[in-house]
Amino acid sequence: MMQLILFNVTNGLIIGAFYVLMALGLSLILNLSNVINFAHGNFLALGGYLAFTLAGTLGYWGALIVSPLLTALIGLIVERLMIRRVYNRDPVYSLLLTFGLAFIMQGAARYVWGPNGLPLGLPFELSQPLSASLFFITWYRLFMVAIVIVAVAGLFALLRYTAIGVRIRAGTLDLETVAALGINVHWLRTCNFAFGCLLAGLSGVLAAGQIGLNPNMGDDLLMPSFIAIIVGGVGSLTGTLLGGLLIGVAAALTTVFFPSGSEAVIYVIMAIVLLLRPHGLMGEEGMLT
Amino acid sequence: MTDATVAVVPRRPIEAVWLPFALVWLALVTAPLWLPLIGGYTALAARVVVLGLAAMGLNLLLGFTGMLSFGHAAYFGLGAYGAGLTLKFLAPSTPLAILLGTLLGAAAGALFGLLIVRRRGVYFAMVTIAFGQICYYIAYSWNSVTGGFDGLRGFDRQPLQLGSWLIDIENNDTLFYYFVIALFGVAVGLMGLLLRSPFGHSLLAIRENQRRARFLGIPVERHIWISFSISCFFTAFAGSLYALLNNFADPMALHYSLSGELVIMVVMGGMRAFWGPLIGAAVFVVVQDYISSMTVDWMAFVGLIFVLVVMFFPRGLLGMLARRKTP
């Protein structure tokens, strides 16, 4: 029993790490631009598929680095061409736009890479289990968690110590003042969107190694990421981090005792949080970290 | 959203109200006559009316209260499942199925609404999606009752018994279509009355400027909750008709992608116009029907419609007409 619970907690933390990576990207875009990016799951899938294509020439390690960057570049282009046009309009338009974009990107992925699942090959070292007694943890899982930790730490450092990060945080609080201080907020939002897509692309490469690739692989991760943001508190990246891990572990633990309820439990958590703390665990309206 | 400060609502000329009304009803009543001539079929018209009703229900909230729900498919789907389950397990009665389906969706909406109305703007949208997905997962995973992924089958709409007069809406598609537009008429009439009432005007005030409405003594949060519940009621009503139309209810009727489609119908038709959502539904359903018969990748084309509407026709069809008339 103990081992089963341990197994599921580990599992939950790994799944939670995915939610966190995805939700942080969504949260970044939501906080600064007030746009819910429905296509975020499709940027994740795009990252995974690009890695699949690039792995042939660059190898796994090269793909792991280049594919998220390419995803970010595509995100940047999409933002410049479409998303920026809806920033100052009724939120209904940004929702519909990213919603339509999600359909298009899914159709494109199906067209280019085919409707069937594809595997992403892993280097031999990574696919081995840790040891005979810890057979349920492969090196790959540890590696994923390590990458997530590095990425999250990198993001927080970026927001804290670099000029662009400070501007993003300031823009979250009061974009008009930031613009009045002479900062090009159009580019700020574009870069911010690209950062979000970078995180999505990275989670896509990691997810592809674990669950394989299919055109709607992002859809299953999108809803939990929403919940992670709502539970953690809109506006707080630390909250998103906490929310993602919390619902990951909660869902995995529920699998032990009540398997069919594992999807439901994250919604129950959300309802409880909304009931007791309408702003979420760490949320203060409009505050970042 | 603009902060309009209109003190007196100017009376619109009488033909501006009656002309669209007359045109819409003329088109609806005669649809079974002319639709086959242009390659349509009656069930398609019924689909337009049912989805149009759902979109008009949504528009009470979206266009007339200014709150963006992206989870209305849940209440639509609950109406469908409620009606289907009633017919399958409870009693073979069409009116009872409609009643219970509608009440199921409306009750869920009212309950979730208590938690949902605390948020505003995009966060409101996000929470409505999440609550909608709860309903989706319940329908998806509660296999023994709802039929799970395959959907709920094994029920048929029943003929109506009016005294000694039997109306066979079960086998006659045209009769069922007239049954649907009769109910549509009642629902739309109620919506019109609601919007003309003082309560309806206070909803418009909330849409235009929430803070101002609050200062005027309107209980904003409670009014939004009532508006949300009523909106869910009409959408669930449409959902129950949808189950009767197809004799089938599937989990995709609860999924947020249908919520998005309802929103695009509203926007495409014009969300400030009373009949806008119906026009939007007509265009969307017909185009979707056409594209899905041409290619398997029709979802990408639907996505393209979304993007084009947002980028180039954000005011919708009726919105563009209205602007042309009043420059």
**Tens-digit pLDDT profile for residues A86-111:** 888 888 899 899 999 999 999 999 88
pLDDT in tens, B263-274: 999 999 988 889
Q: Give the pLDDT mean for A126-147.
A: 75
| Residue B1 belongs to a domain | no
Provide the pLDDT for residue A174.
86
Q: Dihedrals φ, ψ of A183, to 5°?
A: -100, 135
Q: Which of B230, B251, B256, B254 is nearest to B109 (CA)?
A: B230
Average of pLDDT values for B110-117? 90
Q: What is the structure's pLDDT at B117?
A: 87
- Summarised one tens digit per residue, pLDDT across range B149-192 is 888 888 888 877 777 777 777 778 888 899 999 999 999 999 99
Question: What's the domain count of chain B?
Answer: 1
| Beta-carbon separation of B137 and A94 below 8 A | no
Residue B6 within any structural domain of the chain: no
Alpha carbon distance A196, B143 (integer Å): 37
**All residues at 6 or more sequence positions from B52 whose CB lies less than 8 Å from its CB, including other chains:** B184, B265, B277, B278, B280, B281, B282
Which residues in chain A are contacts of B291 at CB distance < 8 A? none
Helices (H) and strands (E) in chain B, counts: 14, 2
| Residue B14 reports pLDDT greater than 70 | no
Reported ipTM: the value is: 0.85
| B2 found inside a domain | no
Question: Per the domain annotation, does B207 fall within a domain?
Answer: yes
What is the model's pLDDT at position B278? 94
Write down the pLDDT at residue B1. 44
Average pLDDT (A217-230) is 86
Question: Do A78 and A90 form a contact (C-beta atoms < 8 A)?
Answer: no
Chain A, nearest residue to B316 by Cα = A93
CA B272 to chain centre: 15
SS3 content of chain B, % helix, strand, coil (to 5): 75, 0, 25
Quickly state the pLDDT bin for B8 (edges 50, 70, 90): low
Q: Is the pLDDT of residue A134 over 70?
A: no
**Interval B120-135 mean pLDDT:** 86
Mean predicted lDDT score pLDDT of chain A: 86
Which of B69, B116, B122 is most worth mutating to test chain A (most A CB atoms within 10 A of its CB)?
A: B122
Q: State how far Cα A228 lies from the chain centre.
A: 10
Task: Dump pLDDT digits (tens) for B41-56.
Answer: 888 889 999 999 999 9
- SS3 readout for B202-218: HHHHHHHCHHHHHHCCC
Q: Which residue of A has its CA nearest to B68?
A: A92
- State CA B286 to chain mean position distance: 16
Q: What is the mean pLDDT of residues A229-252?
A: 87
Chain B interface includes A139 (CB < 8 A): no
- Is residue B4 assigned to a domain? no
Burial A12-41 (b: 16+ CB within 10 A, else e): bbbbbbbbbbbbbbbbbbbbbbbbbbbbbb
Contact B303 A267 (CB under 8 A): no
Give the mutation candidate from B69, B310, B311 for the A interface (greatest A CB count, under 10 A): B310
Determine the average pLDDT of the residues in A215-238. Answer: 85
More confident residue, B54 or A125: B54
B304 vs A100, A234, A278: nearest CB: A100
Q: Is A274 on the interface with B (CB under 8 A)?
A: yes
Residues in chain A: 289
Q: Give A-chain residues touching B129 at CB under 8 angstroms.
A: 223, 226
Q: A255 CB near a chain B CB, below 8 Å?
A: no
Determine contact: A100 vs chain B, CB below 8 A: yes
Chain A residues with CB-CB distance to B304 below 8 A: 100, 103-104
Structural domain for B286, as ranges = 14-325
Q: Is B122's CB within 8 Å of A94's CB?
A: yes
Residue B145 in contact with residue B76, Cβ under 8 Å? Answer: no
For an interface test with B, give the residue of A81, A99, A229 to mutate (most B CBs within 10 A).
A99
B111, B221, B307, best to mutate vs chain A, most A CBs in 10 Å: B307
Rounded mean pLDDT of B280-304? Answer: 88
Confidence class of residue B277 from pLDDT cuts 50, 70 and 90? very high
Least-confidence region, from A18-27, A243-252, B29-38? B29-38
Residues of A in contact with B1 (CB under 8 A): 90
In a domain, B7, yes or no: no
Question: Does any domain span residue B34?
Answer: yes
Residue A227 contacts B where some CB pair is shorter than 8 Å: yes
Spatial separation of the C-alpha atoms in residues B134 and B75, rounded to whole Å = 11
Q: State residue B6's pLDDT score.
A: 47
Q: What's the CATH code of the domain at B133? A: 1.10.3470
pTM of the shown model = 0.88
> Which among B6-15, B173-182, B208-217, B222-231 has the top mean pLDDT?
B222-231
| B-proximal residues of A, 160-179, CB under 8 Å | none
Tokens describing residue A170:
């300031």
